Amino acid sequence: MSPRYDAVVIGAGHNGLIERTERIGGALGITDELVPGVRVPTLAHSVGRLAPSVAKGLGLYDHGLRLIQPEVRVWAPQPDGRAVTLWGDTGRTTEELRGWSAHDADAYPAFDARVRALAGVLGRLYELTPPSASTLSAEGALGAMRLVQAFRGLERKDAQTLLRVLPMAAADFVGEHFDTDALRALLAFRGVLYASMGPWSAGTTAVLLGDSAGNEGGAPGSAVFVEGGPAALAAALASAARSFGAQIRTGAEVAAISADSAGRASGVALTS
């Protein structure tokens, strides 16, 4: 008799339980050795979007997760031999930018503070369970009140800015504050990371702000690496999932999703 489960999640990326290949991780996976002793990430190079509250709630540190956050968040070499460096320390970044533009150096602290404020609201939004569209509940109402409270916690100018910039292109958002093309490109880059969009695409400012939601990334972003590479995060998640009773199956390709008479998903059929 086939085993029964409360839920089946197809695909063993960082959030799946049934994977057709022999290795979990998806975009968090690593390649085979390019040269002896050297491995590189397949796609994801940083795990800065891993919310600290999620890592703590799942007990990932008890399952071997070790995070590394360098002082340099982004380093971008330029064709003329110079480089733009964004540090975790706002003051250090400001001084670094004076070699490029006094205007941009003066504008950077306020821009960093604004990104942190706006991203903070999105961070609280991400932590909320979406309310049911069909039924009202006290929990849903409480979540909505918390979001309103977070929004009201913004200064009036920042509240208006949040509503204005979320649909904007990241290139326009950073272009309102800075003159140097190299700095504009470096900041707007976060708005297109893993998004399959360009810097002039509408809505990429929301992606940029989302990259700093729930962490201390600010304007330069949260460049957090995992000891052992991104695949080590997948391994920690798998270990934590198993400790909660989950079963992860690799080499299990899904052929079809079964449905009951009411049209609700009731199971999956594997190719073997």
Contacts of 173 (CB under 8 A, 6+ apart): 165, 188, 191, 205, 208
191 shares a domain with 116: yes
Position 260 scores a pLDDT of 86
Q: Are residues 238 and 268 in the same domain?
A: yes
Lowest mean pLDDT among 48-57, 140-149, 202-211, 254-263: 140-149
* Whether the model pTM is above 0.85: no
Q: Which domain holds residue 130?
A: 77-223
Q: Span 95-123, mean pLDDT?
A: 93
206 and 83 assigned to the same domain: yes
Query: Domain check: are 158 and 177 in the same one?
Result: yes
Asked if 133 and 193 sit in the same domain, the reply is yes
Same domain, 169 and 267: no
Banded model confidence at residue 32, pLDDT cuts 50, 70, 90 = low
Do residue 156 and residue 241 come from a single domain?
A: no
Q: In this structure, what are the phi and psi dihedrals at residue 27, rounded to the nearest 5 degrees? A: -65, -15
User: Are 149 and 175 in the same domain?
Assistant: yes
Q: What is the total count of domains within the chain?
A: 2
Predicted confidence (pLDDT) at residue 9 exceeds the cutoff of 90: no
Alpha-carbon distance of 250 to 22, in angstroms, equals 5
> Based on the domain organization, do 84 and 215 belong to the same domain?
yes
Whether residue 203 sits in one domain with residue 235: no
Residue owning tokens 């990104």: 115
